[in-house]
């Protein structure tokens, strides 16, 4: 349905987007994930038609949108700070897009109420938007974006300014809503938890390019790069070089590691690679092992509800693991790591 | 929403008001008489004229702001000539003339009324008038006819005189000054207010009176002495009369003011409570007053010469001439015209008013004013 | 689903992307208006002057007066503007932040000085401060003096005082409307960070108010710079400004070459001042979310607040309202030749009688209707054009910067020159408006337009662009975006602009008096007619007519402001 093809955009003489391509298909929620300043919002604005790309195309059903002005695209956009019209009531805000479509008054009334009830805000219809709390504003903004039944819904960090509990709750509602309505959506965020919770597919932006594009499961299972891994919250990264190819064996300052997974980048011996050690699957070791062995001092133990996070310092490098049983802070630990939990990144 | 609606009501109301206004401007007399207040548009009365079939002609008269006339008198002319008269009130005497001069290439009007002898030469030099020897000139004394070619025809005259506050002089037991020379005496220190000749027509007239009285060589000495005697100078007649003069409603500080010879009569006529005699009077000795004669002329390039002639004849005729005193507070030049009762009783017409040749005025006006400015103000 | 073939019309993105093409259609009407009614007549007069200069040269030009006039013009305008700010800013603060009884009435009354014809204002000043005025009378009887101790009439103080009198309401309105919308949480944040209230004002409030203070200063400065009646009538003959000199040279001495030169000089000054303003104001405006609900108004409780609010009210009452009260009182008083006072309604009664059967009698209701009609027309014209121009100015490019300066020009152009231009060009084909009643509101709109633009533009500039983009995404065309977002949010400012236009039209007399058709006399014209003749009845009727004008002005302002509250 939506296809974004090789978008370039320079902002204040700095290249911001350098050939971004991805697509969104029917009913799909795509998450644009990237650090702040990575050009996510600009990309949204280009799709919406609020800005023109320097190069590249935005296509809908195969039709190039370059000549279609923003107000004919029928895309919904929910702004980062909601951009509610301060001079209009809640209901008037929601009715805005419907009025622009020139719908009859009665239909507008009905659909406004329906949209407000979707977000549980019917009783607020007559309120001024300036009197609303952050969460309430977020719901009104969502209702306003949904009410005209857009062909595509874009949400720009919609939960950015809210507190954690509210965020979790709204995130849940949002996911249900998006899946119920069947409207394809692009969800922009810098928070990987939010992204995992809501996305059918993740598109990670880095340095103006798509770093990785895939389902949350795929992405989490196999980050495409060290940057992607770090951005997804993985801490345990080790640089090294290939020693042997089959089985893949990598030498690092912390000894040799066997990698359980194939890696296209590691094609010859001596090639530098980055290893990602997943935070699970550690086994305390009785003795020093030849491979996949880590020895360090426990720096911190953090209770997470289900399990514990332990921070370990090994030869000046920080590692994080999730374990069922707490360790003692200051304790010296020896760990064996399952080769299946070790990935090789390009 | 409510707000938007209200806005539209306001806008609509404004537009309605406007259209009401515009509707009236169309000069077809048959237009809804219910909208037209008669006082605003006396010409509407032509509706009852005997020949409503023919479209009335329009005559445009350019004049100064002080022009005034009775409704019936104007209506009479309009009826007799099946004409609608438009007046362009174009500022004070000097401004009105200058506007006529500056637009002479495509004249705004058919007739210009209101150039006086202090500006007459400029009008003649700029050649804005066509000559017209009106038969009505027969009844006008030659003394008023300052243009031999009859491009400008005299209509009325008046005098710019010093008015005094009777009560003040009575209370203080002060003798009323007789001649201009007296004004520099110490007992009148700070008692006189005059207008700036650069900005005010009576101010210019009074300056000319001093020049006529003392001569172009000596008048500045008089003014310097007057300055030393704390003469007050203001820019316009209204300020001088209503703000500074103590004899008027403004109850100002100076009991002597340069105004018009007829102002005392006006004080009587426009008194809020009936008075037996005016609270002020004019000093009318030799050369204390300057005589202003006002002229009318047909503007060069008019397409309505015949009608313009009729208007000029009309202004010089008895019925307009007799209307002049009570409307403009100046005197008719037509010897057949009778003065109203109040004027007969209280008007003070100086026997020997100051006058200067119009060419002399024209050649020296700017220089005299500049010299005066240097001597009195700087 | 398809978008069909509805292609983007030219510049459709203008509303959305700040860097898109020129919004030509927004500029069309304001530019046409300025071209036809400002540049065309102006150039005609300057051509006339140029031709005369070629024919006769610049002989008789009083060069010696030029330097003095130029210096005095600048000096008095600067000092007047500073004093006006000094008087207006505290009042703007009190009006923007405090809740007190009679605030709406007071604020309506404060616009009245703006409409008073100079002759009438001069009479008010005299009644109050003149040698025989209240103040001197009071002082003389209190201290047993036999001379009036306060002498300001015909001094430079009278000019300055009159300029403060006329323009304080400009500062209160322009700055006050922005101040009232400032989020006071910003100030609270500064206070909580340890700033004293004075530091908070200097470092938070003032920088945020800066654009509006600059705008008000520019308006007031240009008003004072081209001040004519005040200098002529209250300053007296010893003071001359460029504008007075232009008047003298054009209307009295018919020295066109010199007056043309002066007009060009004046235009150049206006352009430089406006450019300076634009340079000072060059920084992008800080977008502030407009605070639309007037919450957080303070009540007067502590004694310091009482002192402040009370002081401001007393101060502006004395400065701005007492002259008006003196005028209104005078319209009910008869002073007998013996000096006794008695109350009367005679002047009002006389207004309705055409006692002398004069052709030019002006029934008060007709004058009132004409004044209101001209006012309404001026509001309509200037608000429509002002909204378009202010919207167009929101895109800040080189072209807009120039237009910004050019829009201000009419305010700083000699009314005498412009009026003469109207007379020269609109009385002959191709644009013969000689008999059109529209010429007057058009002339008024030229003066009102800068006020409307300066009040609306800062508010439009402060609207976050996300609001416009949100509307566009929801399907609003650029035109619709303006209608649905920009203009409703700017309503409050537009109303302030409407009040300016209306009062300018109601009071404007000097520049357009000769454009006025005698068929449509206005209240100021009627007042002037009465004051041109001697006699107590004439003076009294002038005061009565002026009181009527003041009453109507106050009432209209209350009505217009009431629209806002709805």
Q: Which residues pair with A312 in a beta bridge?
A: A298, A319
Are residues C485 and A131, on separate chains, in Cβ contact within 8 Å? no
Q: Is C16 on the interface with A (CB under 8 A)?
A: yes
Q: Is B55 or A209 the better-scoring residue by pLDDT? A: A209
From the list C250, C540, C563, which residue is nearest B249 (CB)?
Answer: C540
Interface list for chain A against chain C, based on CB atoms closer than 8 Å = 45, 48-52, 60-61, 63, 65, 67-77, 79-81, 83-88, 96-97, 100-101, 128, 130-131, 144-145, 148, 151
Q: Tell me, yes or no, whether C182 lies in a domain.
A: yes
- Got the DSSP string for C342-387? EE--HHHHHHT--TT-BTT---HHHHHHHHHHHHHHHHHHHHHHHH
Tell if the CB–CB gap between C3 and A65 is shorter than 8 Å: yes
pLDDT (average), residues C94-110? 87
pLDDT tier, C174 (very low <50, low <70, confident <90, very high otherwise): confident
* Of residues A68, A97, A151, nearest to C474 (C-beta): A97
A269-325 pLDDT, tens digit per residue, is 888 888 999 888 788 887 787 888 888 999 999 988 888 899 999 888 899 998 888
CATH topology of domain A234-345: OB fold (Dihydrolipoamide Acetyltransferase, E2P) (2.40.50)
Domain membership flag for residue C16: no
Check whether B112 has a pLDDT greater than 60.
yes
The answer on pLDDT for B267 being more than 60 is yes
* pLDDT digit string, tens, across residues C349-377: 888 888 777 888 888 888 899 999 999 99
| Minimal Cβ distance to B71: which of C123, C337, C357 | C357
* Contact indicator for A155, A183 with CB cutoff of 8 Å: no
Are the C-beta atoms of residues B166 and B280 closer than 8 Å to each other?
A: yes
Could you tell me which residue, B131 or C420, shows the higher pLDDT? B131
The residue among C5, C294, C474, C483 with the most chain A CBs within 10 A of its CB, best to mutate, is C474
What pLDDT sits at residue C288?
Answer: 60
pLDDT tens by residue, C301-341: 788 888 889 999 999 888 888 888 888 888 888 876 666 77
- Least Cα separation, residue A88 to chain C (angstroms): 9
Q: What is the mean pLDDT of chain C?
A: 82
- What is the predicted pLDDT for the residue at C18? 39
CA pair distance C306, C284, nearest whole angstrom: 37
CA distance C565 to chain A (A): 13
Smallest Cα–Cα separation from A15: which of A50, A32, A48, A39?
A39
> Rounded distance, CA B121 to CA B152, Å?
10
The Cα B219–Cα B211 span in angstroms is: 5
Distance from CA of B123 to the nearest CA of C (A): 11
CATH for C429? 1.10.3720.10
Sign of CA dihedral B299, B301, B303, B306: positive
- Torsion angle defined by CA atoms of residues C58, C62, C67 and C71, in that order, rounded to the nearest 10 degrees: -120
H helices within chain B, ranges in order?
A: 2-25, 71-81, 93-102, 120-125, 166-172, 201-214, 219-228, 237-238, 263-269, 305-316, 318-328, 341-346, 358-372
Of B7, B108, B327, the CB nearest to C358: B327
Q: What is the pLDDT of residues C408-441, one digit of tens each?
A: 899 888 888 888 888 888 877 677 776 678 888 9
Average pLDDT score over residue span A41-47: 90
Rounded CA gap, C360 and A195, in Å? 82
Residue B103, class by beta-carbon neighbours within 10 Å (0-12 exposed, 13-18 middle, 19+ buried)? buried
Question: Nearest-CA distance from C12 to chain A in Å?
Answer: 7
Across chain B, what does the average pLDDT equal?
Answer: 84
For a pLDDT cut of 70, what percent of chain C falls above it? Answer: 89
What pLDDT score does C435 carry? 67
The band of B132, judged by pLDDT with boundaries at 50, 70 and 90, is very high
Structural domains for chain B: 36-157+292-338 (3.40.190.10), 158-291+342-377 (3.40.190.10)
Q: What is the mean pLDDT of residues C120-127?
A: 81
From chain C residues 432-491, the ones with a CB under 8 A of any chain A CB are 464, 466-467, 469-478, 480, 484-485, 488-489, 491
Query: Quick one: pLDDT band at residue B49, thresholds 50, 70, 90?
Result: very low
Overall average pLDDT of the C243-256 stretch: 85
Check pLDDT > 60 for residue B199: yes
Min distance B131 CA to chain C CA atoms (Å): 24
Residue B41's pLDDT is what?
36
C339 touches chain B (CB under 8 A): yes
Contact C531/B at CB under 8 A: yes
Of A100, A120, A122, nearest in space to A110 by CA: A122
A150-198 pLDDT, tens per residue?
999 999 988 876 777 878 888 888 888 888 888 899 999 988 888 888 9
In this complex, do C469 and A77 lie within 8 Å of one another by their Cβ atoms?
Answer: yes
- DSSP lists the bridge partners of residue C281 as none
Distance from CA of B320 to the nearest CA of C (A): 12
Nearest to C473 among A63, A67, A77 (CB): A77
**Confidence grade of residue B44 (pLDDT, cut at 50, 70, 90):** very low
C2 touches chain A (CB under 8 A): yes
C250 touches chain B (CB under 8 A): yes
Residues of C in contact with B272 (CB under 8 A): 334, 344, 346-347, 536-537, 540
Residue B22 has pLDDT above 70, yes or no: no
Give B164's strand partners.
Answer: B256, B281
Nearest CA in chain C to A64: C3
pLDDT, tens only, C390-400: 988 877 777 88
CB-based contact C379 B94, cutoff 8 Å: no
Give the range of the structural domain holding residue C81, as residue numbers without chain letter.
Answer: 22-356+363-565
DSSP character at residue C39: I
Q: What is the pTM of this model?
A: 0.79
CA A124 from centroid of its chain's CA atoms: 31
Contact A333, A217 (CB under 8 A): no
- Check if C535 contacts B (Cβ < 8 Å): yes
The per-residue pLDDT for B36 is 33
Residue of A63, A81, A128 lying closest to C3 (CB–CB): A63
What is this model's ipTM? 0.80
Residue B291 predicted with pLDDT over 80: yes
Pairing of strands B232-234, B129-130: unpaired
* pLDDT (0 to 100) of residue C186: 75
Q: C15, C293, C475: best mutation site toward chain A, by most A Cβ within 10 Å?
A: C475
**Residues of C numbered 488-507 whose beta carbons fall under 8 angstroms of chain A's beta carbons: which are they?**
488-489, 491
Closest listed residue to residue C322, CA positions, set C140, C138, C124, C543: C124
Which C residues, 272 through 311, put their C-beta within 8 Å of a C-beta on chain B? none
pLDDT of residue C295: 55
| Contact criterion met (CB < 8 Å) for C358 and B68 | yes
CB-based contact C462:C510 (threshold 8 Å): no
Residue B250 and residue C123: Cβ atoms within 8 Å?
yes
Task: Name all contacts of C75-79 with Cβ < 8 Å and 24+ positions apart.
Answer: C76/C156, C76/C159, C76/C160, C76/C163, C76/C224, C76/C227, C76/C231, C76/C239, C76/C241, C77/C221, C77/C224, C77/C225, C77/C227, C78/C221, C79/C160
User: Among candidates A87, A63, A86, which has minimal Cα distance to A74?
Assistant: A63
In which residue ranges of chain A is CATH 2.40.50.140 found?
A: 234-345
Which positions in chain C touch B329 (Cβ < 8 Å)?
A: 533-534
**Percentage of the residues of chain C whose pLDDT score is greater than 90:** 20
Q: Which chains touch B (3 or more CB pairs under 8 A)?
A: C
Pairwise CA distance, residues B88 & B70, whole Å: 16
Residue numbers in B near C132 (CB within 8 A): 251-253
Are A83 and C485 in contact (CB < 8 Å)?
no
CB contact under 8 A, A75 and C8: no
Which chains, if any, share at least 3 CB pairs under 8 A with chain A? C
Judged by a CB distance cut-off of 8 A, whether residue C293 touches chain A is yes
Q: What's the pLDDT at B46? A: 38
What secondary structure letter does DSSP report for C100?
-
* Chains in touch with C (≥3 Cβ pairs < 8 A): A, B
Asked whether the predicted pLDDT for residue B51 surpasses 50, the reply is no
Radius of gyration of chain A (CA): 24
Q: How confident is the model at residue B89 (pLDDT cuts 50, 70, 90)?
A: confident
Residue C138 touches partner A, C-beta closer than 8 Å: no
What is the sign of the dihedral through the CA atoms of B139, B143, B148 and B151? negative
Gap between the Cα atoms of A146 and A287, Å rounded: 60
**Residue C357 Cα, gap to closest chain B Cα (Å):** 5
Residue B109: count of CB within 10 angstroms of its CB = 25
Query: Per-residue pLDDT tens for B232-266?
Result: 999 889 889 988 898 887 777 899 999 999 999 99
Asked if C498 and C451 touch (Cβ cutoff 8 Å), the reply is no
- Is residue B157 within a helix (H) or strand (E), and if so which, with residue range? strand B153-165
pLDDT the model gives residue A93: 93
Separation of CA A194 from chain center: 6
What is the average per-residue pLDDT within B317-338? Answer: 94
Is B292 in contact with B258 (CB distance < 8 Å)? no
Contact A69, A100 (CB under 8 A): no
Q: What is the mean pLDDT of residues B95-105?
A: 87
Architecture in CATH for domain A2-222: 3-Layer(aba) Sandwich (3.40)
Out of B95, B252, B370, closest to residue C251 by CB: B95
Using CA atoms, how far residue B109 sits from B21, B39, B71, C510, in Å, is: 23, 23, 21, 22
Whether the predicted pLDDT of B177 surpasses 90: yes
CB contact under 8 A, A70 and C7: no
A chain contacts of residue C472, beta-carbon cutoff 8 Å: 49-50, 70-71
Q: Backbone phi, then psi, for B10, in 5-degree steps?
A: -60, -45
- The structural domain count of chain C equals 1
Q: Is A21 helix (H, G, I), strand (E, B) or coil?
A: strand
The answer to the question of residue C1 being in a domain is no
> Of the candidates A72, A79, A128, which has its C-beta nearest C470's C-beta?
A79
Contact: C380, B11; criterion CB under 8 Å: yes
CB distance A309 to A301 below 8 Å:
yes
Contact yes or no for B198 and C360 at CB 8 A: no
Q: Please, is A36 exposed, middle or buried when counting C-beta atoms within 10 Å of its C-beta (0-12, 13-18, 19+)?
A: exposed
Residue B83's pLDDT is 93
Which secondary-structure segment (H or E) carries B59? strand B57-63
Amino acid C513: pLDDT: 59
Q: Using omega within 30 degrees of 0 as the cis cutoff, is the peptide bond preceding C430 cis?
A: yes
What pLDDT shows up at residue C107?
Answer: 85
Q: Above 90 in pLDDT, residue C525?
A: no
pLDDT band at B192 (very low <50, low <70, confident <90, very high): very high
């Amino acid at each position: 349905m939506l296809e974004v093809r090789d978008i370039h955009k320079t902002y204040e003489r700095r290249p911001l987007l350098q050939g971004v391509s991805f697509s969104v298909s029917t009913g799909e929620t795509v998450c644009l994930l990237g650090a702040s300043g990575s050009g996510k919002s600009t990309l949204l604005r280009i799709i919406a038609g609020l800005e023109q790309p320097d190069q590249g195309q935005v296509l809908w059903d195969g039709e190039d949108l370059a000549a279609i002005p923003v107000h004919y695209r029928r895309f919904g956009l929910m702004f980062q700070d909601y951009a509610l019209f301060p001079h209009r009531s809640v209901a008037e805000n929601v009715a805005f897009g419907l009025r622009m479509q020139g719908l009859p008054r009665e239909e507008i009334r009905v659909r406004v109420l329906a949209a407000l009830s979707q977000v549980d805000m019917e009783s607020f219809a007559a309120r001024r938007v300036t009197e609303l709390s952050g969460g309430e504003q977020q719901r009104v903004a969502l209702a306003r974006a949904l009410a005209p039944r857009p062909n595509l819904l874009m949400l720009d960090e919609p939960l950015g300014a809210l507190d954690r509990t509210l965020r979790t709750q709204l995130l849940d509602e949002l996911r249900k809503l998006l899946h119920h309505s069947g409207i394809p959506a692009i969800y922009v965020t810098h928070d990987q938890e939010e992204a995992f919770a809501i996305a059918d597919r993740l598109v990670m932006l880095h340095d103006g390019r798509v770093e990785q594009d895939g389902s949350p499961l795929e992405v989490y299972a196999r980050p495409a790069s060290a940057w992607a891994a770090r951005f997804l919250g993985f801490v345990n990264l080790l640089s090294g070089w290939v020693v042997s190819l089959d089985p893949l064996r990598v030498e690092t300052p912390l000894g040799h590691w066997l990698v359980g997974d194939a890696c296209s980048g590691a094609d010859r011996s001596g090639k530098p690679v980055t290893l990602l050690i997943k935070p699970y699957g550690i086994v305390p070791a009785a003795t020093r092992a030849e491979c996949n062995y880590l020895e360090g001092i426990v720096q911190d133990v953090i209770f997470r509800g289900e399990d514990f996070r332990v921070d370990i310092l090994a030869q000046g490098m920080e590692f994080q693991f999730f374990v069922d049983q707490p360790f003692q802070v200051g304790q010296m630990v020896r760990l064996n790591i399952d080769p299946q939990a070790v990935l090789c990144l390009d | 929403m409510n707000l938007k609606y209200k806005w539209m009501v306001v806008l609509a109301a404004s537009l309605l008001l406007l259209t009401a206004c515009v509707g009236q401007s169309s000069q077809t007399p048959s237009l809804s008489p219910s909208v037209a207040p008669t006082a605003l548009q006396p010409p509407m009365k032509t509706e009852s004229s005997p020949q409503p079939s023919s479209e009335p002609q329009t005559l445009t008269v350019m004049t100064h702001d002080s022009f005034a006339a009775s409704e019936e008198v104007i209506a009479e002319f309009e009826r007799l000539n099946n004409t609608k008269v438009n007046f362009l009130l174009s500022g004070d005497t000097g401004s009105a003339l200058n506007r006529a001069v500056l637009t002479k290439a495509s004249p705004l009007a058919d007739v210009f009324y209101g150039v006086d002898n202090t500006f007459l030469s400029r009008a003649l030099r700029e050649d804005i008038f066509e000559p017209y020897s009106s038969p009505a000139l027969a009844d006008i004394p030659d003394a008023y006819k300052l243009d031999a070619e009859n491009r400008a025809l005299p209509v009325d005259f008046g005098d710019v005189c010093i008015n005094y506050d009777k009560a003040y002089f009575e209370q203080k037991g002060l003798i009323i000054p007789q001649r201009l020379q007296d004004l520099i005496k110490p007992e009148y220190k700070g008692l006189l207010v005059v207008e700036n000749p650069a900005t005010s027509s009576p101010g210019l007239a009074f300056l000319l009176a001093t020049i006529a009285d003392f001569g172009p060589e000596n008048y500045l000495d008089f003014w310097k002495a007057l300055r030393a005697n704390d003469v007050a100078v203001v820019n316009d007649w209204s300020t001088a009369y209503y703000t500074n003069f103590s004899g008027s409603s403004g109850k100002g500080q100076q009991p002597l003011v340069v105004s018009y010879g007829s102002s005392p009569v006006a004080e009587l006529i426009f008194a809020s409570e009936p008075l037996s005699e005016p609270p002020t009077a004019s000093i009318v000795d030799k050369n204390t007053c300057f005589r202003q004669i006002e002229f009318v002329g047909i503007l060069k390039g008019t397409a309505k010469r015949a009608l313009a002639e009729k208007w000029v004849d009309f202004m010089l005729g008895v019925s307009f001439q007799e209307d002049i005193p009570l409307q403009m507070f100046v005197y008719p030049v037509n010897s057949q015209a009778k003065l109203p009762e109040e004027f007969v009783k209280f008007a003070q017409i100086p026997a020997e008013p100051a006058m200067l040749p119009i060419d002399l005025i024209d050649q020296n006006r700017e220089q005299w004013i500049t010299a005066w400015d240097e001597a009195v103000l700087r | 689903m398809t978008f069909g073939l509805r292609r983007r019309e030219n510049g459709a993105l203008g509303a959305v992307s700040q860097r898109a093409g020129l919004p030509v259609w927004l500029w069309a009407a304001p530019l046409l208006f300025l071209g036809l009614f400002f540049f065309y007549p102006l150039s005609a007069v300057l051509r006339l002057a140029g031709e005369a200069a070629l024919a006769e040269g610049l002989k008789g030009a009083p060069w010696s007066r030029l330097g003095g006039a130029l210096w005095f013009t600048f000096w008095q305008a600067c000092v007047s503007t500073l004093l006006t700010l000094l008087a207006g800013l505290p009042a703007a603060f009190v009006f923007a932040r405090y809740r007190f009884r009679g605030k709406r009435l007071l604020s309506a009354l404060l616009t009245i000085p703006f409409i008073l014809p100079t002759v009438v204002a001069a009479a008010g000043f005299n009644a109050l401060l003149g040698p025989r005025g209240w103040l001197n009378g009071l002082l003389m009887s209190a201290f047993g003096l036999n001379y009036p101790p306060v002498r300001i009439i015909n001094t430079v103080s009278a000019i300055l005082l009159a300029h403060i009198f006329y323009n304080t309401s400009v500062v209160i309105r322009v700055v006050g409307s922005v101040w009232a919308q400032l989020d006071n949480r910003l100030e609270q944040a500064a206070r909580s960070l340890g700033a004293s209230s004075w530091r908070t004002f200097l470092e938070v409030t003032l920088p945020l108010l800066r654009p509006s203070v600059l705008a008000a200063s520019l308006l007031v400065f240009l008003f004072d710079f081209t001040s004519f009646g005040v200098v002529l009538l209250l300053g007296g003959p010893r003071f001359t400004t460029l504008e007075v000199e232009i008047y003298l040279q054009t209307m009295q001495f018919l020295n066109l070459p010199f007056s043309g030169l002066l007009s060009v000089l004046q235009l150049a000054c206006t352009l430089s001042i406006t450019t300076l303003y634009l340079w000072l104001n060059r920084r992008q405006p800080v977008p502030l979310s407009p605070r639309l609900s007037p919450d957080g108004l303070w009540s007067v409780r502590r004694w310091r607040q009482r002192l402040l609010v009370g002081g401001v009210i007393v101060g502006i009452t004395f400065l701005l309202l007492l002259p008006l009260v003196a005028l209104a009182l005078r319209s009910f008083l008869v002073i007998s030749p013996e000096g006794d006072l008695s109350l009367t309604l005679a002047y009002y009664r006389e207004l309705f009688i055409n006692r002398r059967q004069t052709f030019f009698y002006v029934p008060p209701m007709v004058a009132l209707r004409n004044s209101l009609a001209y006012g309404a027309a001026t509001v309509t014209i200037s608000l429509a054009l002002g909204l378009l121009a202010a919207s167009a100015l929101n895109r800040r490019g080189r072209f807009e910067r120039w237009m910004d300066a050019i829009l201000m020009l009419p305010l700083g152009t000699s009314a005498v020159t412009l009026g003469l231009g109207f007379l020269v060009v609109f009385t002959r084909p191709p644009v013969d408006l000689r008999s059109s009643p529209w010429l007057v509101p058009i002339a008024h709109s030229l003066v009102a337009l800068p006020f409307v633009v300066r009040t609306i533009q800062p508010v439009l500039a402060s609207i976050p662009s996300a609001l416009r983009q949100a509307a566009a995404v929801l399907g609003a065309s650029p035109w619709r975006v303006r209608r649905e977002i920009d203009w409703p949010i700017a309503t409050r400012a537009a109303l302030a602009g409407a009040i300016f236009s209306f009062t300018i039209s109601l009071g404007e007399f000097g520049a357009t008096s000769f454009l006025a058709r005698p068929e449509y006399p206005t209240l100021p014209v009627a007042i002037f007619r009465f004051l041109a003749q001697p006699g107590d009845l004439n003076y009294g009727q002038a005061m009565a007519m002026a009181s009527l004008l003041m009453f109507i002005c106050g009432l209209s302002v209350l009505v217009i402001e009431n629209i806002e509250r709805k």
